[in-house]
A and B are shown apart, each in its own frame.
Chain A
Amino acid sequence: DTAVSQTPKYLVTQMGNDKSIKCEQNLGHDTMYWYKQDSKKFLKIMFSYNNKELIINETVPNRFSPKSPDKAHLNLHINSLELGDSAVYFCASSLGTAARANYGYTFGSGTRLTVV
């Protein structure tokens, strides 16, 4: 009964490939996010989706595209992978869209992407 689950947990791929990371939440949350954690452990938001609408789109390359088939899923597609894309990617979800984020966030366990 995992709350936020990501697959795969590890992904090793060659430069230039296209890959996807899947995320699903069973909490009934209405907002989902993707964060990237670099080699120095710094976490930065990439995208968020609320009711299938992209709300935040940070300055990430357009090779990255989030896709949400429904409220419980937010998948991350990455085209033409580059060495610099190697990182840990975390999916998260939250309930409520109030500015103060009173409800907190639940994170998945992360997907470690290695581009060789």
Chain B
Amino acid sequence: AQSVTQLDSHVSVSEGTPVLLRCNYSSSYSPSLFWYVQHPNKGLQLLLKYTSAATLVKGINGFEAEFKKSETSFHLTKPSAHMSDAAEYFCVVSIYSGGGADGLTFGKGTHLIIQP
């Protein structure tokens, strides 16, 4: 079975400072991992994904994440926060159902607050 744990329900940083959103996963297989962002009253947007290629993955809007198998982690970082980054962030792992198609298991989300 697959699961994902986002270690912080809320993270607050000042504009211009680094962002770190933590995520740990468990998976019976080598996982595919994703980070999605959801702005208030909006849909889900893919930030980046890891699919067994390079362990350091670069995404949109200056975000990146590093896959660390030994730590079963996939933390999301950004060097300098912007006010527009305020949103809910979801760490996601793929599910292998055995039937051929995949679904996703979502973490419970981290609410990112940007202080001016």
Contact = CB atoms under 8 A, between A and B. Distances in A.
Interface string A93-115: 01001111110111111100000
A55 B100 contact: yes
Contacts of A108: 43
Interface residues of A, number: 30
Given A40-B108, A41-B108, A33 B52 contact: no
A contacts with B: majority SS:
strand
A13 to B, nearest CB: 20
Interface stretch (A16-24, A44-52, A61-69, A75-83): A44-52
Nearest to A34: B103
A86 interface: no
Interface string B99-113: 111111110110000
Please provide the 8 A-B residue pairs with the shortest distance between their CB atoms, ordered closest to farther: A109-B43, A55-B101, A101-B94, A43-B106, A45-B103, A107-B44, A99-B96, A50-B101
